[in-house]
């Protein structure tokens, strides 16, 4: 074999060997490459959030569990956000990492019937330094009809009278003659049904609900005419009557009132006062013959008055008090019915009344006259003796203004809800 041909063969073999070496190095380098970061599952309790369609009915107390294809760098979880859709507010969460599992636990329960958006930005990294190829976004809706978050107490009456967010559960002895029936719409499930003579639910330590400067209470009620007197009024609920708060539907369904107790500090003089706040839908405010503190009262005379929304119909009532502005509000079926301003409370000489110095709500009852138990179905609990002899006010009297009808979704917040939240809540729950 000549030398030229031999060199050609040797050079060819060398090239093949070099190519093989490069290939092996490439494979070795590829083997060392960290695996990609991908989402493999996403759940809230037993609910799959990673399906082709948006999940619904997610329990309000469910932490979210995300599982990835490889370990997650805990320092990168700031790229995970949970947002409420209706007001675009970022929900405070506690995020923990255990290998490839990330747990996103909201600091408060989800609001019911609310759409949430969960986003994993591309900045999320694996422990090997790999980031998501693109952001991942999933949305879901919590169970029930819409209710803004942060409630102190909530009674949904799903075949029981338990408080589903707080610690205000009645005992078995505090529930008398209650049945459960259809609520204001299908999503709301069941409602508590009151017979109009003996039905009552009592909740201990109700005075704690009033230890606040800001307050909102919302509920749905369907009052049904009494058999003995179709125009008799209804004590829908009460915490020691006006010594705490009560909600009463007036006789003939002519309107309602919600007396509430307040504490004030008038230049060092500390005291307590109640405000009756009766509403009849006559349109009278401070500018047309109404009370000087009423900024607005809805005129319902052209549509038949309050009876058209109260009598044998589901109605959503919301009462709001803002301790900062000293303004209070009534809403019915998502619409403003009354706004008052305690700053305008003065005596006949124009000097500010004590209520102009209100600092918040306060229960002021004293046993045995009244007891600090919130009663659903009457103006006070059975332990109170006030009005026992009055034909309209004694619990043991069939003639008394017991509530007859259905009650559902009683919720208390220690903050003033916004008009937008109240409208959304009504639209979600309307029949």
- Bridge partners for 84 per DSSP: 116
CB within 8 Å of 359: residues ≥ 6 apart: 213, 262, 263, 264, 265, 323
Token output for 327: 């303004």
Confidence of residue 1 (pLDDT cuts 50, 70, 90): low
**Average confidence (pLDDT) over 22-50:** 77
What confidence score (pLDDT) does residue 27 get? 43
| pLDDT tens column, 46-99 | 999 999 999 999 998 899 999 999 999 999 999 999 999 988 999 999 999 999
What confidence score (pLDDT) does residue 10 get? 47
Q: DSSP string of 332-362?
A: ETTEEEEEEEGGG-B-TTSPBPGGGGEEEE-
Instruction: Say if residue 20's pLDDT is above 70.
Output: no
**Average confidence (pLDDT) over 334-349:** 95
Confidence of residue 322 (pLDDT cuts 50, 70, 90): very high
**Average confidence (pLDDT) over 263-275:** 96
What confidence score (pLDDT) does residue 25 get? 45
Instruction: Say if residue 175's pLDDT is above 50.
Output: yes
Instruction: Say if residue 355's pLDDT is above 50.
Output: yes
**Average confidence (pLDDT) over 222-240:** 97
What confidence score (pLDDT) does residue 108 get? 86
Confidence of residue 144 (pLDDT cuts 50, 70, 90): confident
CB 329, CB 338: distance < 8 Å: yes
What confidence score (pLDDT) does residue 365 get? 98
Confidence of residue 21 (pLDDT cuts 50, 70, 90): very low
Instruction: Say if residue 18's pLDDT is above 90.
Output: no
Residues above pLDDT 70, as percent of the chain? 93
Lowest-confidence segment of 32-41, 169-178, 199-208, 381-390 by average pLDDT: 32-41
CB 71, CB 93: distance < 8 Å: no
What is residue 419's three-state secondary structure?
helix
Confidence of residue 24 (pLDDT cuts 50, 70, 90): very low
φ, ψ (nearest 5 deg) of residue 6: -65, -45
How far is the CA of 367 from the CAs of 13, 202, 381, 400, in angstroms? 105, 16, 11, 21
Instruction: Say if residue 101's pLDDT is above 80.
Output: yes
Instruction: Say if residue 245's pLDDT is above 90.
Output: yes
**Average confidence (pLDDT) over 194-222:** 98
| CA–CA–CA angle 115, 42, 104 (5° rounding) | 70
What confidence score (pLDDT) does residue 414 get? 98
Instruction: Say if residue 364's pLDDT is above 80.
Output: yes
Confidence of residue 111 (pLDDT cuts 50, 70, 90): confident
Chain position carrying tokens 């009915």: 57
How far is the CA of 181 from the CAs of 11, 155, 188, 189, 236, in angstroms? 92, 15, 11, 8, 17
What is residue 267's three-state secondary structure?
coil
How far is the CA of 231 from the CAs of 177, 252, 264, 423, in angstroms? 23, 4, 37, 30
Token output for 153: 């107490």
Lowest-confidence segment of 12-26, 160-174, 180-194, 320-334 by average pLDDT: 12-26
What confidence score (pLDDT) does residue 26 get? 45
**Is 0.85 topped by the overall pTM?**
no
Confidence of residue 11 (pLDDT cuts 50, 70, 90): low
* Cis previous bond, 368, omega within 30: yes
Chain position carrying tokens 């800001």: 214
Confidence of residue 318 (pLDDT cuts 50, 70, 90): very high
What domains, with CATH codes, occur in the chain? 39-142 (2.60.40.1220), 151-429 (2.60.120.200)
């Amino acid at each position: 074999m000549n030398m030229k041909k031999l060199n050609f063969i040797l050079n060819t073999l060398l090239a093949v060997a070099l190519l093989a070496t490069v290939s092996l190095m490439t494979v070795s380098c590829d083997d060392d490459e960290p695996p990609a970061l991908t989402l493999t599952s996403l759940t809230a309790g037993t609910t799959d959030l990673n399906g082709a369609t948006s999940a619904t009915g997610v329990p309000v107390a469910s932490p979210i569990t995300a599982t990835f294809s490889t370990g997650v760098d805990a320092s990168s979880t700031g790229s995970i956000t949970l947002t409420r859709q209706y007001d675009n507010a970022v929900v405070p969460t506690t995020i923990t990492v255990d290998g490839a599992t990330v747990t996103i636990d909201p600091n408060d329960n989800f609001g019911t019937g609310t759409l949430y958006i969960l986003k994993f930005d591309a900045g999320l990294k694996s422990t090997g330094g790999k980031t998501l190829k693109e952001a991942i976004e999933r949305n879901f809706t919590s169970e029930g009809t819409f209710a803004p978050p942060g409630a102190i107490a909530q009674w949904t009456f799903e075949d029981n009278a338990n408080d589903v967010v707080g610690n205000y559960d009645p005992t078995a002895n505090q529930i008398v003659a209650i049945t459960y029936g259809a609520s204001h719409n299908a999503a709301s499930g069941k409602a508590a049904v009151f017979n109009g003579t003996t039905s009552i639910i009592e909740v201990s330590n109700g005075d704690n609900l009033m230890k606040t400067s800001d307050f909102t209470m919302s509920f749905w009620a369907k009052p049904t005419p009494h058999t003995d007197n179709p125009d008799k009024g209804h004590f829908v609920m009460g915490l020691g009557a006006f010594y705490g708060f009560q909600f009463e539907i007036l006789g003939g369904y002519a309107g309602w009132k919600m007396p509430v107790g307040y504490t004030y500090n008038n230049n060092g003089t500390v005291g307590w006062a109640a405000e009756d706040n009766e509403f009849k839908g006559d349109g009278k405010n401070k500018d047309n013959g109404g009370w000087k503190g009423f900024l607005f009262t809805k005129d319902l005379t052209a549509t038949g008055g309050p009876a058209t929304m109260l009598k044998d119909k589901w109605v959503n009532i919301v009462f709001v008090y803002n301790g900062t502005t000293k303004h209070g509000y009534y809403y019915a079926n998502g619409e403003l019915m009354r706004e008052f301003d305690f700053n305008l409370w003065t005596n006949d000489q124009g000097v500010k009344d004590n209520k102009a110095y209100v600092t918040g709500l306060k229960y002021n009852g004293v046993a045995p006259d009244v007891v600090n138990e919130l009663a659903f179905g009457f103006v006070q609990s059975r332990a109170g003796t006030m009005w026992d002899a009055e034909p309209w006010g004694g619990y043991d009297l069939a003639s008394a203004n017991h509530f007859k009808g259905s009650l559902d979704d009683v919720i208390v917040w220690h903050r003033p809800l916004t008009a937008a939240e109240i409208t959304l809540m009504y639209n979600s729950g309307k029949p």
